[in-house]
């Protein structure tokens, strides 16, 4: 993880300048799709906050919630602090979160899932900190193929940090104790993710939506812990 941390430390000062001018509007639009979920959240954990672009938008959407934003990179967190002086920031590895079990009811991973070194282990750790009936959102600004093409082109510490196909991610989720609910993305069929813990899977599950390809250039995964 040292190489990954160093990679993002190096990018921190120039990261925001590399983003499109309408990024804030796009991020707000992504979050608006989950407004009912956000509005009922009380304790939010954001993984991979980077320079903190989502922090004010999440706070805007859920002003009543206690929120902690995590990143591996100290320099990214310094930039996030400049963006939001009142934010609760934590430098930590998503595989080993220094948080109590069942301590949050919503986890948001934005543009970070491909960078998890051991994705099944990271998913288990996120399930650990989520309370029962909590939710997990895995969001990406771009579609899977675009994300992966960028990472392969950049190479180095992120050259193998790839977003898996929907089927593979669903299998990882199942192995971590999740069941499919909804997956939306440019190259991914509708589906989803719902974790279970300490309970047998329900015999009656919410049916998946009819598979279709989405025209939008983002990937979104939603999970609920039962």
What confidence tens digit (pLDDT) does each residue in 115-159 have?
999 999 999 999 999 988 788 898 999 989 999 999 999 999 999
Q: In the sheet where 219-224 sits, what is the strand order?
A: 89-91, 66-71, 43-47, 104-110, 130-140, 219-224, 182-185
Q: Is 43 left (phi over 0), alpha (psi -120 to 50) or beta?
A: beta
Structure pTM? 0.84
Q: What is the pLDDT of residues 191-221, one digit of tens each?
A: 333 444 434 333 333 332 322 222 234 577 7
- Which is it for the CA torsion 111, 151, 169, 100, positive or negative? negative
Smallest CA-to-CA distance from 92 within 125, 133, 66, 124 is with 125
Q: What is the pLDDT of residues 37-58, one digit of tens each?
A: 999 999 999 999 999 999 999 9
Query: Structural domain tally of the chain?
Result: 1
Which residues make Cβ contacts (< 8 Å) with residue 167, sequence separation at least 6?
Answer: none
CA–CA gap between residue 214 and residue 28 (Å, rounded): 19
Task: Determine what percent of the chain is predicted with pLDDT higher than 70.
Answer: 80
CA–CA gap between residue 156 and residue 150 (Å, rounded): 12
Which residues make Cβ contacts (< 8 Å) with residue 212, sequence separation at least 6?
Answer: 189, 190
Question: Range of 71's domain?
Answer: 2-224
Geometric angle at alpha carbon 164, from 160 and 167, rounded to 5°: 155
CATH code of the domain covering residue 164: 3.40.50.150
């Amino acid at each position: 993880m040292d190489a990954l941390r160093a990679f993002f430390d190096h990018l921190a000062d120039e990261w925001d300048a590399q983003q499109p001018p309408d990024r804030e509007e796009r991020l707000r639009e992504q979050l608006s799709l989950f407004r009912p979920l956000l509005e009922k959240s009380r304790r939010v954990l954001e993984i991979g906050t980077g320079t903190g672009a989502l922090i004010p938008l999440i706070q805007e959407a859920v002003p009543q919630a206690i929120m902690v934003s995590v990143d591996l990179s100290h320099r990214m967190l310094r930039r996030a602090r400049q963006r939001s002086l009142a934010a609760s920031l934590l430098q930590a590895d998503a595989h080993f979160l220094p948080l109590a079990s069942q301590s949050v009811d919503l986890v948001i991973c934005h543009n970070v899932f491909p960078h998890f070194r051991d994705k099944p282990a990271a998913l288990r750790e996120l399930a650990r900190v989520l309370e029962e009936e909590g939710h997990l959102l895995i969001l990406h600004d771009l579609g899977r193929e675009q994300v992966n093409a960028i990472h392969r082109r950049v190479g180095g510490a992120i050259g193998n940090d790839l977003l898996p196909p929907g089927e593979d991610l669903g299998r990882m989720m199942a192995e971590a104790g999740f069941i499919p609910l909804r997956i939306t993305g440019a190259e991914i069929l509708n589906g989803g993710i719902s974790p279970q813990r300490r309970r047998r899977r329900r015999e009656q599950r919410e049916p998946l939506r009819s598979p279709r390809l989405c025209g939008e250039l983002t990937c979104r995964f939603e999970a609920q812990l039962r």
